[in-house]
Structure 1
Amino acid sequence: MPTMIPAAGRAMAVFEVFAREQRELSNSEMARQLSLPETSTSDLLHTLHSLGYLMRTTRTRRFYPTGRLAELTRQIAENDPLTTAAQEAVDQLVERTNESAFFGLLEPTAVKVVAMQQSRQPLRYIIDVGSRAALHASALGKGLLALLPEDEARAALEKSQRRQVTPHTIVDVDRLMADIAKGRQRGWHEAREEGAEGVDGLAVTGWLAGQPAGISLAGPADRMRKHRDAYLEALREVRNGLLGEG
């Protein structure tokens, strides 16, 4: 039976305190935050300082994290299996459709784009990795909300900023819930010029590592509508190879 290592927990708690306080801290201040004796806190901070995770200011002798932890986190994220799988999915979609493809995860009031591959066609739609897409104005957003219980989906929409991005954007929560229900029933979701003028999106969603996730294609409205059936077939096949169906 695995056991908790108190020292490891205290080390992580140090960084949680810095994240919350967002300022340099003395040994005594950190001890109060951690509810630890100053002697124990001094040993803990000295260890992290010696390992390069903390710096100490010359004048005040207060502590603050260096960039080492952030750099390690970045390196870990670059090889995250979820990110790798997401990138493989969008690469497959572009290979099959030559439309820009996106992989998104649900956040409380938006969709976070974690992988994308752009179309090779001159006229294409692009969103950068790390960008947030609106829940109410994107096929991905509506598809991810469809995975939630109805009350949770409605609450997420009510908390989000439902800007009227284009004349086609739906901002009324009841209309959005009806659109989401329609997409859930047919197994795919769309946004018809709702997030950008002249751009349509198609999305299918499911579960990846216990998280609501989805893949989407977006491009010029006329092209998306002309090839919708073929694009939906590609989305379903890639989704079924990666995600549990929503």
Structure 2
Amino acid sequence: MPTLVPAAARTMSLLEVFARERRELSNSDLARLMDLPESSCSDLLHTLHELGYLLRTARSRRFYPTARLLTIAKDISAGDPLYAVASEACELLRDKTGETGMCGRLEGGVVKVLAFAEGTHPLRYVGNVGNKIALHVSALGKAELSLGTPEEAARQLRLKPLKQIAAGSITDLAVLEAQVEQARQQGWMWVENEGFDGLAALAVAGYVGDEPLALSIAGPTDRMRQHRDACLQALKEVQALVFHPRSPSLPPRTAPTRRGAGSKESRPA
């Protein structure tokens, strides 16, 4: 069983302190802010300074990260594995269920499809990476909204017009907020005939690092109803492999307060 490496955790905490404070810091400053003995903090600072990740002022002997961190971060970002993670997750969902697997994230009141694995049934949902789905009809979007606060969900849902896209589209903001609250309570979101007549989708959400994402399975409503339990089990299995339940940068969420009852837009979930 893997275990937490304290030295690695301290290194990342130290960098987060610099990001928060945005100023040069002494050994004693950092020891206080990180709640560490000054001797342990000194060793860590010395190591990072010797490796070129920190500079040290000549007179005040204070530290600050060098541009080497930025260079490395840019190199890492250029090969961002997020899309590979999303694609593999969608393929796993397709292989487990035969239905279309999708991964998406919120962008300005719509859901952008990051990855897509087309189902294997003759009758299946077909879409494309890069499609933008109307948030109020999207299982992906509502699942992702459930990660945040009710206030943020309401704000996102107000960013775009709530149009009647299909027979089951919901355009009442209060009902949509109640849907998101239900997803928050149960951990998954189901929609049917909201983005396209005859189409249903089931979705879960979580974090890849600090990035909130959602995964869904979409297919014909009758077939999805018949196999909903199996689809939900597949989603939970892939969710456990891919996602953290919350962002590592956020504190654990307290119990939620219960509330009363770009490019082309794609209709389904």
TM-score normalised by length of structure 2: 0.63
1:58-207 equivalences in 2 (<5 Å) = 79-207=79-207
Shift of 1:127: 1.7
Q: How many residues align?
A: 178
| Contact 2:199/2:221 (8 A) holds in 1 | yes
CA distance in 2, matches of 1:4, 1:98: 47
Match of 1:46 in 2: none
CA distance in 1, matches of 2:161, 2:205: 22
Shift of 1:134: 1.5
- Letter aligned with residue 232 of structure 1: L
- Letter aligned with residue 210 of structure 2: G
Structure 1 residue ranges, 4+ long, deviating more than 2 angstroms after superposition: 2-5
| Contact 2:144/2:213 (8 A) holds in 1 | yes
- Letter aligned with residue 222 of structure 1: D
CA distance in 1, matches of 2:136, 2:152: 14
CA distance in 2, matches of 1:132, 1:87: 17
CA distance in 2, matches of 1:167, 1:220: 15
| Contact 1:201/1:217 (8 A) holds in 2 | yes
Match of 1:55 in 2: none
| Contact 2:209/2:244 (8 A) holds in 1 | no
Does 2:199 correspond to 1:209? no
CA distance in 2, matches of 1:107, 1:147: 15
- Letter aligned with residue 3 of structure 1: T
CA distance in 2, matches of 1:117, 1:237: 17
Match of 2:28 in 1: none
- Letter aligned with residue 181 of structure 1: E
Please give the secondary structure, in 2, of the residue aligned with 1:136. helix
| Contact 1:207/1:213 (8 A) holds in 2 | yes
- Letter aligned with residue 204 of structure 1: V
Match of 1:236 in 2: 236
| Residue identity (%) | 40
| Contact 1:138/1:190 (8 A) holds in 2 | no
CA distance in 2, matches of 1:161, 1:221: 25
Q: Deviations over 1:142-168 (max 9, x none)?
A: 111111111111011011222110121
CA distance in 1, matches of 2:240, 2:67: 38
Q: Deviations over 1:26-77 (max 9, x none)?
A: xxxxxxxxxxxxxxxxxxxxxxxxxxxxxxxxxxxxxxxxxxxxxxx9xx86
- Ranges in structure 1 where 5+ consecutive residues have no aligned partner: 10-72
CA distance in 2, matches of 1:161, 1:80: 33
Q: Deviations over 1:210-244 (max 9, x none)?
A: 11101000000000000000000000000111001
Q: Deviations over 1:96-138 (max 9, x none)?
A: 1000010111212111111000011110001200111111101
| Contact 1:167/1:194 (8 A) holds in 2 | yes
TM-score normalised by length of structure 1: 0.69
Does 2:66 correspond to 1:3? yes
Shift of 1:4: 4.5
CA distance in 1, matches of 2:106, 2:166: 23
